[in-house]
Amino acid sequence: METFDWDALDGQERTQAEDDELAQGEAQLRALLLRARPKWSSRELEAALRKLQMVSVASVAQLAEVLLLPKVAVSVSPKLELDELEEEVLNVKLQEAGVVQPRGFGFAAARAGHQGRGCNGRPRGDRHGGDRDGDGRCRRRLSRSLEAIDFVVVFERVALRASMALDGEVVGVLTRGRVLRGVPQQDAGRPWVKVKLQEVNGGPVAVREWQVVAPGAGLELADTKPKRVKELSLGSVLHGHMEQHWLKTRQGKAKRHDSSGREFFRCLPERFGWILVNGEHLGLGALLQPLSVDDGFLRRLPDRGLGLFATQEYEEGDCVLEERPFFRRHGVAQLKGHQKFFTKSFRAKFEQIKAPFTMPGDEAQSHVYASPAMLRSAVSFCSASLMTQQMILELHHPPLSSSHPLVSVALAVAKLCRSAVPCCHEVSEEVLQRAILAIEMNIFVGECCFLTFCRMNHSCFPNVVYISEKRQFRALRKIQKGEELLHSYLGRELLLPTELRRRLLWRSKAFECDCTRCTAEEDPMRRVACRSCAHAKEHYEVIFHPGVWLRSEPSLQGKQLAFLNEGQRLKATGERSGSWIHVKVERQVGWVLTNGRSLSPPLQKMLCLPLDAESWRVVADPYDGLPLPEWPGWRLWHEAALLFLPVDDVQTPVAEDETQEEAFSREILEQLPADLDLPCAAFTQDSPCCRFLGDRWSCPSCGEEVADLTSERLLGRLAERTFFTPKMTPALGSVSAKAGTSALKMVKRLFVRQAFELSASCSQRLGPRHWSVQWARLFLVDLAISRLNYGVGRFPALGILLLDALQELWSWLTTLDLSHDPSCFLLTRTLEAQHLLGNDPDPLVQQKLRTLQTWSESCRKQVDILPLRPLIIDGSISFQ
Ligand SMILES: C[S@@+](CC[C@H](N)C(=O)[O-])C[C@H]1O[C@@H](n2cnc3c(N)ncnc32)[C@H](O)[C@@H]1O
């Protein structure tokens, strides 16, 4: 039995003879490495040597000693050559040191490692195969025993002991969900795991254990003239890191290291601790579980690190997981305690921290800036206990070698915090950078980190949802045993198209999402109305007096087939050529000119105009300068604008207080060519939509393909800025917010006018089903609810407008590939509409309300992902 001799750790000065022995051992190891890796350059060799020393291997003898196993293996198989063994041991140690990729590491290897050990009292049998004959068996067994594998703590709390015995000194405690690496070992038939203390409870990498090895060391106050506050007795153990001649410990104190050329402290060698794997004989059951068992709850996946899996079947609404956080990030209020360190110059430096951001495979460049949340992360981390710090560092984060902009931003924030905030002085730059990244990647709503929840991967089509008030995950749909549990790291962003969702995830969480929605062939958010199908359904009326010619070709030279009188109705066939349309009139077909501008001399007049499919009225002629063109894609937004804004505001083309950004958006909209407007028939219920398939749209009905992404991208970018994050300013005065709303905010009238213009442009060019138009609807719903809540006077048309928009949004959400039901995005809005319009005498309003109520009653209403935004228009309410 291998027990650890703690007494041996007592500080002894190293003698010259020991130094010589070390040098000799190193030379042996170098020779062994050279033999085993003849192709390595001297730099690679030196790097490997350094890394081996980090895992306690400084000589060939140590290599054998640490693992003890060669002796066992030799006795089992005398055929095995020592060289071969050395190389095997060397390979394992190199893997442990991170010099080469662990062979077979991960799922299969860990499973193999677990096999036959009887952990959890469950014999594993031989179902995972393995080399079972002769030398092969021996080699397999050897590497298995040497390999460190991942375990997860499955019991509430397990003890880390100084020796492989139940009465061994407890040197640490690990809580459920903690993931650790260790080498399985047996003692008297009981399975134990040997782990490095540094890895599990020794604190962040730079902080090590030190021991007082000479008399005269004392505790001094840092940041002031050295002032001794305490003598330190020989042998006492401290946590800290070296900075020049001082060993720095926590609480802003420093300890003298070698002011007079003498060493006071020595870093303790890495220690080991043992954890019992199975507590069945104690009546406890499994304490640790290898990570990669087939039916495990926590598994290692080939391309995403760890992931959580269902160990039983769940019905929709069931509670799947519940956990308490181990870490809570400081809120803004708590940070105020540190305010005096955030001087003007600190703030200036902080605001300059940024790194260029590009999406892989995309040329468009922007920047990622340091967020104040990172500052909170740094301070919270540095104020946490060593154990908590270690648990944070164990959470997933991008490697520091990654070129992702967050990595360099986190480094700059870490540097700045270390230099300015006292509680951060003692943590190394690298550790603080890792901590900021780990918190950024794993933080949950409510500013918490969890040991288990944080291992759950993301999907835009999740099967569980986080209920923050209860700290629970609940099933969004039926979940089969063995299915991966996936939640969405995104909230309302789930209602954005794939390209934007992937961009957001890459930007904030540094990964390229490969979920079912992101990899699906079609992106249903980007459905646009099919122009050619709509053209084919279009009806026209001759509005020119006395009438127009039906011609055999789309030109004035075309043969005159018939004269069509003013007022005559024509059915389009779908073919067009410039201002010419191909029509069917009674039994004849031919071409008709719609626009007199191409005549010579030009006639500034339309000759034929489309009929609105809903009202069968002629759509007004924009060239005659009529003030209110009644294009269906435009009409809803124009009418809405008139309900919310004074007529002057709606019609004034440019406002004087327009900001640069607003001017930019307006110019973009003005530049969009008018001839791309969709025909009226595109706005009828049954008009077909083109599906977006990667880089083009294709109509399932007529087969038409469209590849022009430019105006859709342009409108999408404006829509994201306008509807997704409306520019709001806090309201003046003191009106308390009503239930379901957050603090009151104001939107500028000019902003609202431009938002309606954008809504109309998106609608006219992309049709009623595109995501940008749906976000415009949400904006309209929030404006309408705010107006009904806070506005002065009644607006009868507002109720119908609100309920129509809600119904439209509800049915859009049901057609998308979303696992959340529409109530997750619309519940508060629906309830608020019911509350505000419940007493409305209009029977149409009551009928629409009943429909909405039936829909919402059939939903589970688990979460509200998209709370109502109180969009109060500046000047539309008066504060008393
Ligand atoms: C909060 S962690 C989840 C647990 C993590 N897999 C681990 O090993 O601890 C988030 C990380 O998991 C990976 N990940 C999660 N969801 C993913 C997805 N849908 N596609 C690709 N990688 C994903 C990414 O590396 C991401 O940064």
User: pLDDT by residue (tens digit) across 760-777?
Assistant: 999 988 999 999 999 999
* Distances 681 to 524, 583, 615, 776 between C-alpha atoms, Å: 21, 15, 12, 21
- Give yes or no for residue 56 having a pLDDT over 80: no
Q: What is the mean pLDDT of residues 743-749?
A: 76
**pLDDT at residue 613, rounded to an integer:** 74
Contact present, 114 and 124 (Cβ < 8 Å): yes
**pLDDT at residue 61, rounded to an integer:** 61
Q: Is 533 helix (H, G, I), strand (E, B) or coil?
A: helix
- Give yes or no for residue 510 having a pLDDT over 80: yes
Q: How much of the chain exceeds pLDDT 90, in percent? A: 35
Nearest to 323 by CA among 202, 199, 440, 456: 456
Q: Which atom of ligand 1 is nearest to the CA of 398?
A: 27
**pLDDT at residue 464, rounded to an integer:** 97
d(CA 239, CA 203) in angstroms, rounded, equals: 9
pLDDT grade for 426, boundaries at 50, 70 and 90: confident
- Give yes or no for residue 564 having a pLDDT over 90: yes
- Give yes or no for residue 46 having a pLDDT over 50: yes
Nearest to 193 by CA among 140, 144, 151, 141: 151
Question: Ligand 1: which of 291, 511, 515 to mutate, most ligand atoms within 8 Å of CB?
Answer: 511
pLDDT grade for 110, boundaries at 50, 70 and 90: very low
- Give yes or no for residue 878 having a pLDDT over 70: no
Q: Choose from 11-25, 72-86, 248-262, 689-703 the range with maximum mean pLDDT.
A: 689-703
- What is the CA(502)–ligand 1 centre distance, in A? 13
Q: Estimate the crossing angle of helix 82-96 against helix 60-67, to 10 degrees.
A: 80
**pLDDT at residue 71, rounded to an integer:** 37
Structural tokens at position 510: 């540094």
Q: What is the mean pLDDT of residues 251-267?
A: 65
**pLDDT at residue 193, rounded to an integer:** 93
**pLDDT at residue 867, rounded to an integer:** 85
Task: List, for residues 789-802, the tens digit of each pLDDT value.
Answer: 877 666 778 999 99
| Atom 7 (ligand 1) nearest CA | 306
Distance of CA 497 to the CA centre of its chain: 15
Contact present, 739 and 570 (Cβ < 8 Å): no
Q: Give the residues surrounding ligand 1 with Cβ less than 6 Å away.
A: 304-307, 396, 441-442, 454-455, 457-459, 509-511, 513-515
**pLDDT at residue 116, rounded to an integer:** 28
- What is the CA(366)–ligand 1 centre distance, in A? 24
CB atoms within 10 A of CB 429: 15
**pLDDT at residue 207, rounded to an integer:** 67
- Give yes or no for residue 651 having a pLDDT over 50: yes
Distance of CA 689 to the CA centre of its chain: 30
DSSP-assigned beta bridge partners for residue 729: 746
d(CA 142, CA 88) in angstroms, rounded, equals: 8
**pLDDT at residue 169, rounded to an integer:** 82
**pLDDT at residue 185, rounded to an integer:** 87
- Give yes or no for residue 389 having a pLDDT over 80: yes
d(CA 145, CA 115) in angstroms, rounded, equals: 11
Q: Which atom of ligand 1 is nearest to the CA of 460?
A: 19
In 825-878, the DSSP E strands lie at: 871-873
**pLDDT at residue 112, rounded to an integer:** 27
pLDDT grade for 880, boundaries at 50, 70 and 90: very low
Tell me what the pLDDT averaged over the chain comes to: 79
- Give yes or no for residue 439 having a pLDDT over 90: yes
d(CA 85, CA 91) in angstroms, rounded, equals: 10
Residue carrying structure tokens 């995950």: 473
Residue 680 phi, psi (nearest 5): -55, -40
Nearest to 175 by CA among 393, 325, 328: 325
Residue carrying structure tokens 């609105």: 612
Name the percent of the chain in helix, strand, coil, to the closest 5: 40, 20, 40
Say whether the peptide bond before residue 546 is cis (omega within 30 degrees of 0): yes
Residue carrying structure tokens 């507590």: 279
**pLDDT at residue 122, rounded to an integer:** 29
Q: What is the mean pLDDT of residues 855-871?
A: 85
- Give yes or no for residue 810 having a pLDDT over 90: yes
| Atom 26 (ligand 1) nearest CA | 511
Q: Which atom of ligand 1 is nearest to the CA of 510?
A: 27
**pLDDT at residue 137, rounded to an integer:** 30
Sequence-distant (6+) residues with CB within 8 A of 561 are 549, 550, 551, 552, 588, 590
**pLDDT at residue 134, rounded to an integer:** 31
Task: List, for residues 87-104, the tens digit of each pLDDT value.
Answer: 556 666 676 666 643 332
- What is the CA(565)–ligand 1 centre distance, in A? 68
- What is the CA(153)–ligand 1 centre distance, in A? 20
pLDDT grade for 225, boundaries at 50, 70 and 90: low
**pLDDT at residue 20, rounded to an integer:** 75
Q: Choose from 25-34, 256-265, 413-422, 659-668 the range with maximum mean pLDDT.
A: 413-422
Nearest to 274 by CA among 399, 159, 409: 159
**pLDDT at residue 472, rounded to an integer:** 95
**pLDDT at residue 720, rounded to an integer:** 92
Sequence-distant (6+) residues with CB within 8 A of 790 are 735, 870, 872, 876, 877
Q: What is the mean pLDDT of residues 395-405?
A: 93
Structural tokens at position 222: 């840092």
- Give yes or no for residue 117 having a pLDDT over 50: no
Q: Is 255 helix (H, G, I), strand (E, B) or coil?
A: strand
Q: What is the mean pLDDT of residues 33-37?
A: 75
DSSP-assigned beta bridge partners for residue 181: 150
**pLDDT at residue 653, rounded to an integer:** 60
- Which value, to the nearest 10 degrees, does the dihedral of the CA atoms of residues 230, 233, 239, 242 take? 80
- Give yes or no for residue 656 having a pLDDT over 70: no
pLDDT grade for 711, boundaries at 50, 70 and 90: confident
- Give yes or no for residue 860 having a pLDDT over 90: no
* Amino acid (one-letter) located at 135: D
Q: What is the mean pLDDT of residues 305-327?
A: 94
pLDDT grade for 6, boundaries at 50, 70 and 90: very low
Higher pLDDT: 710 or 830? It is 830
DSSP state string for 262-277: ---EEEPPP-EEEEES
Q: Is 240 helix (H, G, I), strand (E, B) or coil?
A: strand
pLDDT grade for 133, boundaries at 50, 70 and 90: very low
**pLDDT at residue 294, rounded to an integer:** 64
Task: List, for residues 593-622, the tens digit of each pLDDT value.
Answer: 988 877 888 877 788 888 877 777 777 665
Strands 486-487 and 457-458 turn out to be parallel
d(CA 220, CA 248) in angstroms, rounded, equals: 10
- Give yes or no for residue 672 having a pLDDT over 50: yes
- What is the CA(511)–ligand 1 centre distance, in A? 7
* Amino acid (one-letter) located at 249: T
d(CA 833, CA 824) in angstroms, rounded, equals: 16
- Give yes or no for residue 302 having a pLDDT over 50: yes
Task: List, for residues 630-650, the tens digit of each pLDDT value.
Answer: 677 787 888 888 888 877 777
DSSP state string for 607-628: SEEEBPTTT-PBPP-GGGT-S-
* Amino acid (one-letter) located at 227: K
- Give yes or no for residue 492 having a pLDDT over 60: yes
- What is the CA(432)–ligand 1 centre distance, in A? 21
In 66-154, the DSSP E strands lie at: 149-153
Q: What angle do CA 346, 410, 440 make, to 5 degrees?
A: 115
**pLDDT at residue 625, rounded to an integer:** 44
Contact present, 783 and 676 (Cβ < 8 Å): no
Contact present, 825 and 859 (Cβ < 8 Å): no
Structural tokens at position 658: 């327009």
- What is the CA(724)–ligand 1 centre distance, in A? 25
Contact present, 635 and 619 (Cβ < 8 Å): no
Q: What stretch of H or E contains 376?
A: helix 372-383
DSSP state string for 401-418: T---HHHHHHHHHHHHHH
- What is the CA(228)–ligand 1 centre distance, in A? 48
Residues in the chain: 880
**pLDDT at residue 715, rounded to an integer:** 92
**pLDDT at residue 792, rounded to an integer:** 65
- Which value, to the nearest 10 degrees, does the dihedral of the CA atoms of residues 384, 387, 388, 389 take? 70
d(CA 776, CA 185) in angstroms, rounded, equals: 63
**pLDDT at residue 626, rounded to an integer:** 46
Q: Which atom of ligand 1 is nearest to the CA of 301?
A: 6
**pLDDT at residue 257, rounded to an integer:** 58
d(CA 878, CA 872) in angstroms, rounded, equals: 11
d(CA 783, CA 637) in angstroms, rounded, equals: 13
Strands 871-873 and 745-747 turn out to be parallel
Residue carrying structure tokens 């509200």: 864
Higher pLDDT: 560 or 726? It is 560
Per residue, the 3-state secondary structure of 749-788, as one string, reads HHHHHHHHHHHHHHHHHHCCCCHHHHHHHHHHHHHHHHHH
- Give yes or no for residue 70 having a pLDDT over 70: no
Contact present, 149 and 291 (Cβ < 8 Å): yes
DSSP state string for 146-213: H--EEEEE-SSEEEEESSSSTTSPEEEEEETT-EEEEEEEEETTEEEEEEEHHHHTS-STT-EEEEE-
Question: Ligand 1: which of 391, 457, 506 to mutate, most ligand atoms within 8 Å of CB?
Answer: 457
**pLDDT at residue 86, rounded to an integer:** 57
Q: Is 804 helix (H, G, I), strand (E, B) or coil?
A: helix
d(CA 584, CA 538) in angstroms, rounded, equals: 11
DSSP state for residue 108 in the 8-state scheme: H
Contact present, 442 and 396 (Cβ < 8 Å): yes
Say whether the peptide bond before residue 70 is cis (omega within 30 degrees of 0): no
- Give yes or no for residue 127 having a pLDDT over 50: no
**pLDDT at residue 171, rounded to an integer:** 80
Q: What angle do CA 322, 323, 327 make, to 5 degrees?
A: 155
Q: Which atom of ligand 1 is nearest to the CA of 306?
A: 8
Residue 359 phi, psi (nearest 5): -80, 135
**pLDDT at residue 484, rounded to an integer:** 96
d(CA 717, CA 313) in angstroms, rounded, equals: 42
Nearest to 636 by CA among 774, 728, 825, 537: 774
Q: What is the Cα gyration radius of the chain?
A: 36
**pLDDT at residue 486, rounded to an integer:** 98
Give the start-to-end residue ranges of the domains of the chain. 6-203+273-294, 214-263, 327-449, 629-678+707-873
DSSP state string for 677-729: PPPGGGGSTT--EEEE-SS-EE-TTT--EE---HHHHHHHHHHIIIIIS---E
Per residue, the 3-state secondary structure of 555-570, as one string, reads CCCCCEEEEEECCCEE
**pLDDT at residue 231, rounded to an integer:** 81
- What is the CA(444)–ligand 1 centre distance, in A? 14
Task: List, for residues 338-378, the tens digit of each pLDDT value.
Answer: 777 778 888 899 999 999 998 877 777 889 999 999 999 99
Q: What is the mean pLDDT of residues 423-436?
A: 88
Q: Which atom of ligand 1 is nearest to the CA of 454?
A: 1
